[in-house]
Amino acid sequence: MSQANERPITIQEHVSSAEEILRVNDLGVQFNTGPRPVRAVEGVSFSVRRGEIFGIVGESGCGKSATLRALIGLLPERGVQTTGQVWFGNRNLLDLGERPMRQVRGAEISMVFQDPMTYLNPVLRIREQIEETLKQHTSLGRAKRRARAVELMQLVGIAVPERRLREYPHQFSGGMRQRVLLAIALACSPTVLLADEPTTALDVTIQDQILKLLKRLRDELGMSIVLVSHDLGVIAQMCERVAVMYAGQIVETAPVRQLIRNPRHPYTIGLLNSLPRTDTNSRYLDPIPGAPPSLIDPPTGCRFADRCPFVLEECRTWQTSLLEAENQQFSRCLRHESLPRRHD
């Protein structure tokens, strides 16, 4: 296991400014579990700033969850090949061995998931599950751990924490379980919280509560959040910057207002147009025709070409990369300049 600091690094390679807390360079994830390898994630690069909520949005199978899991080594070791770099401070997380990684995961970087019940132990009281994390990562004594558990429950807005700490996960509603999972994730005051569809399984009024809680926690604790969601509304309300993923690649990244007002990739335009709208009398929506390509043998050139209304011959052959479309806005589209403005 090589230590991160043994590796010679240049300033461009790791986190390059005080603002940046996490930098992902050319991340690739390949699943070799089937008869043929699946390239779930390819060439994904982004950075997350201090105190920022960074969104990753895309549809099923676009690689957004695999990206998030790869960051903290949560993908199964067997049959999965992860390439690239994930710089966290001066450490490349992909070079860390399992042991040092475990010190980072759950303490400095922690994660919440779509379905909290899967990650809570049904036979342990909530108290034990929160204290377990504190035991793992801190030197707090028993009494201090107890006090911290109460504090964490209050932080995530659970009333009567003393009593609820004695209860089991099944005694909690879906929204409350997500709060418990958050309490565990926040136990060691992480610098970065990774949230994978944290509200997708919840009712809309409960989703609203959890999203606002996440925002409040970000403001109070100053942590950064990477939020993965399929819901553009959630992304629009929560994030400062966002990356749109399609077929394993980032196709567009921009500050969230800019992305929604003036998308510069046909897929982003298509996604926004697919949403039920209220500013038109048409009974018909504007769907994206077709379906995403297989990631076993992804097409060369632009992966969206087959579904794209603006496709040109050269789209199918060019070596795609993110091109600067506007200030801070990058698009993996040759025609980003000539695309129509939305609602034109």
Partner 1 sequence: MTDPAAVTAGRDASPLVETRDLTKHYAIGGGLARRLRGKEKETLRAVDGVSLRIGRGETVGLVGESGCGKSTLGRLLLHLEQPSGGEMRYEGELVDKTTADRLRRKIQIIFQDPFSSLNPRKTVGKAIEEVLSVHNLCPKESRKARVAELLDRVGLSPEMANRRPRQFSGGQRQRIGIARALAMGPEFIVADEPVSALDVSVQAQVLNLLTELQEELGLTYLLISHNLGVIRHLTRRIVVMYLGKVVEESPTGDLFDDPLHPYTQALIRAVPDIDPDRAVGAVAVEGDLPNPIHPPSGCHFHTRCPFAMDVCRSEYPEPRHVAPGRLVACHLYDTQAEASDPAAAIRVGS
**What whole-number distance in Å separates Cα of residue 108 and Cα of residue 104?**
5
What is the distance between the alpha carbons of residues 53 and 226, in angstroms, rounded to a whole number? 6
Asked whether position 278 contacts partner 1 by CB under 8 A, the answer is yes
Longest dimension (CA), the chain: 68
Looking at 99, 276, 313, 344, which residue binds partner 1 (CB under 8 A)?
276
Nearest approach in angstroms of CB 267 to partner 1 is 9
Q: How many CB atoms lie within 10 A of CB 40?
A: 22
CA distance 201 to 117: 11
CA distance readout (Å), 44 to 62, 103, 125, 322: 12, 25, 39, 10
Binding to partner 1 in span 193-232, by CB under 8 A: 203-209, 211-212, 230-232
Nearer to partner 1, 71 or 225 (CB): 225
Report the alpha-carbon distance of residue 173 to residue 27 in Å, rounded. 36
Q: Which is nearer to partner 1, 84 or 175 (CB)?
A: 175
Only one of the segments 21-29, 183-191, 233-241, 335-343 lies at the binding site for partner 1 (rule: CB under 8 A); that segment is 233-241
Query: Considering the rule CB under 8 A, would residue 34 count as an interface residue with partner 1?
Result: no
Contact between 312 and partner 1 per CB under 8 A: no
Residue whose CB is less far from partner 1, 56 or 256: 256
Q: How far is the CB of 278 from partner 1 (least distance, A)?
A: 6
Nearest-10 crossing angle of helices 174-186, 126-137: 20
Residue 339 engages partner 1 in binding (rule: CB under 8 A): no
Supply 340's token pair: 């129509």
* Residue (of 153, 24, 165) closest to 87 by Cα position: 24
What is the identity of the amino acid at 74? L
Query: Binding partner 1 by CB under 8 A: which of 38, 70, 94, 234?
Result: 234
DSSP conformation class of 63: S
Strands laid side by side in the 20-31 sheet: 38-49, 20-31, 80-88, 91-92
- Taking CB under 8 A as the criterion, the residue among 36, 76, 99, 284 binding partner 1 is 284
Q: Is 299 in the site for partner 1 (CB under 8 A)?
A: no
Residue 259 C-beta: closest distance to partner 1, Å:
9
Residue 337 DSSP code: T
Question: What is the distance between the alpha carbons of residues 180 and 213, in angstroms, rounded to a whole number?
Answer: 12
Q: Which of 142, 144, 163, 277 binds partner 1 (CB under 8 A)?
A: 277
**Residue selected from 79, 97, 222, 233 as contacting partner 1 according to rule CB under 8 A:** 233
Please identify, among the stretches 116-124, 132-140, 183-191, 266-274, the one whose residues bind partner 1 according to the rule CB under 8 A: 266-274
| Pairing of the two strands 249-255 and 329-331 | antiparallel
DSSP state at residue 249? E
160 binds partner 1 (CB under 8 A): no
**Which of the ranges 11-19, 169-177, 220-228, 324-332 carries the binding residues for partner 1, by CB under 8 A?**
169-177
Residue 314 found at the interface with partner 1 (CB under 8 A):
no
Our finding on whether 111 is near partner 1 (CB under 8 A) is: no
Q: Which residues would be at the binding site for partner 1 (CB under 8 A)?
A: 59-60, 173, 175-176, 203-209, 211-212, 230-234, 236-238, 256-257, 260, 270-272, 274-278, 283-289, 291
